[in-house]
Amino acid sequence: MVIKGDYLGLIAVIIELFLLYLLFNKHKLAKPAIMVWAVFLIIGPGLVLLGKLIKFGIGDELNSDLDELIKHLLLLTFGIIIYYFNKTTVLIQPTKE
């Protein structure tokens, strides 16, 4: 998005760089930060898909929006996968000082 001139994409880049910083430094807030990011990845596309389903339910055609629908479905799927793997595989261990 940033390459195309849409500087709103910088917000996503900054958030992802912050998450990478937390991960590489093994910060104790890395797991909760990833959970919050994954929840946003689930909620945003989920609401878009719900809106598209409501439009389809009232008789609107989805043929013109099929590529956008697939994009949001993939984002929702990635959000669920990231949330699940973060919850099951990331462990926070207390440090001994």
Instruction: Tell me what pLDDT residue 43 has.
Output: 94
Query: For the chain, give me the number of helices (H) and strands (E)?
Result: 3, 0
Please give the full DSSP string across 9-65, using - where no structure is assigned: HHHHHHHHHHHHHHHHTT-TTHHHHHHHHHHHHHHHHHHHHHHHHHHHHTT---STT
Instruction: Tell me what pLDDT residue 92 has.
Output: 73
| Terminal C-alpha separation, the chain | 43
Instruction: Tell me what pLDDT residue 94 has.
Output: 65
Q: Which residue has the higher pLDDT, 6 or 29?
A: 29
Instruction: Tell me what pLDDT residue 10 has.
Output: 82
* pLDDT tens digit sequence for 38-87: 998 899 999 998 988 888 888 777 676 778 888 889 989 999 999 999 88
How far is it, in rounded angstroms, from Cα 31 to Cα 3? 30
pTM score, whole prediction: 0.75
Domain boundaries, the chain: 27-89
Residue 25 has pLDDT above 90, yes or no: no
Instruction: Tell me what pLDDT residue 27 has.
Output: 83
Q: Which residue has the higher pLDDT, 80 or 4?
A: 80
Assess contact for 48 and 72: CB atoms under 8 A.
yes
